[in-house]
Structure 1
Amino acid sequence: MKHDVKQIIFYDKDKPCTRIYADFTLQTITAENLTDNIIKTAFGVKLKPIWDDFLDFLEERCIPRQRGGLREYLDVLGIDEYDPLQIVQKTKGRMAEDQQWLEIMSIDGEKLKNNHLADS
């Protein structure tokens, strides 16, 4: 089975803080903190986040679902519906109130066969 796997690096300014591997086929993730500053990490004190934590994290890096003018915002991004992954792919998860952002890369899931993500 071919897996849809993305590597997501969560940055604070230019410093990588968390590396995430997300398998969208199996809906599993693994995360590695690259800093000791828990406030700067993607999942805070959660050392073993689950898929729902990941989905919440993506949504936290987006415009709120209830925001006025949401339809116009999505139109500007070229997105048909509210989809946090698509939004952060377009915006890099940048928010006005902080200097954190995401780098998202699709990777070949076959290369992860020996990685514990494929076994989750």
Structure 2
Amino acid sequence: MMNYKAFISSALQFEVLEHDQVIAKVKLDYSNQNVDVWQDDKVSPVFLPFPGKKKVFVSDVLDYFESRCLPRTRHHIGKVLHSLGLRDYVPTDIVKKTHGVLYDDYVWIRFSGEELTCADVHPRFAGEQGFSSNFCEQQ
């Protein structure tokens, strides 16, 4: 019999940043279906992952991850996933590879144990600063 718990990590910790400012910290405990969140109340709600939410659920985190991904309906999605080293559209896996970077803003996600800056993950920021990013090399 297959052990399905092997597919679910016990905890996932990450920070949401706007440029290099931490604007939210999240600890997601899959096994207990618990989410602990701190959000900077001095930051515009448009940048926060869960604006106005008093209680955040695992499904909210997964929805947030998907909002930071390329669309499921993207033309040639299979080729894009393959270029990321992925076989299936799993928002958590995609965000772990792309850090949730979108070209339209400077919000991104840094996972526990990573020592990255905006310049490391965001090609637009690096270009505007006049130096090259190692963004493509990290993929």
Structure 1 unaligned residues grouped into runs of 5+ = 107-120
Equivalent in 84, 92, 106 of residue 99 of structure 2:
92
Deviation at 1:28, TM superposition (A): 2.1
How big is the shift at 1:35? 4.0
Q: Residues of 1 paired with 2:23 and 2:54: CA distance?
A: 13
Percent identical pairs in the alignment equals: 27
Task: State the TM-score, normalizing by the size of structure 1.
Answer: 0.80
| C-alpha displacement of 1:47 | 2.5
Q: Structure 2 length normalisation: TM-score?
A: 0.70
Structure 2 gap ranges (5+): 1-8, 114-139
Give yes or no for the alignment of 1:32 onto 2:50: no
How far did residue 75 of structure 1 move?
A: 0.3
Report which of the two structures shows the higher radius of gyration computed on alpha carbons: 2
Higher relative contact order (CA 8 A, sep 6+): 1
1:71 match: 78
* Residue 19 of structure 1: aligned partner: 25
Worse overlay, 45-54 or 16-25: 45-54
Output the CA distance in 1 between the equivalents of 2:83 and 2:33: 29
8 Å CA contact 2:30, 2:58 repeated in 1: no
Supply the AA of the counterpart residue of 2:64: F
Distance in 2 separating the partners of 1:63 and 1:85: 12
Structure 1 residue aligned with 2:15: 9
2:70 aligned counterpart, secondary structure: coil
- The structure richer in strand per residue is 1
Count of aligned pairs between the two proteins: 104
What are the superposed Cα offsets for residues 4-47 of structure 1, whole Å, 9 maximum, x if unpaired?
Answer: 11111000000000100011222321111134222221111113
Aligned CA RMSD, in angstroms, stands at 1.4
Tell me the equivalent position of 2:122.
Answer: none
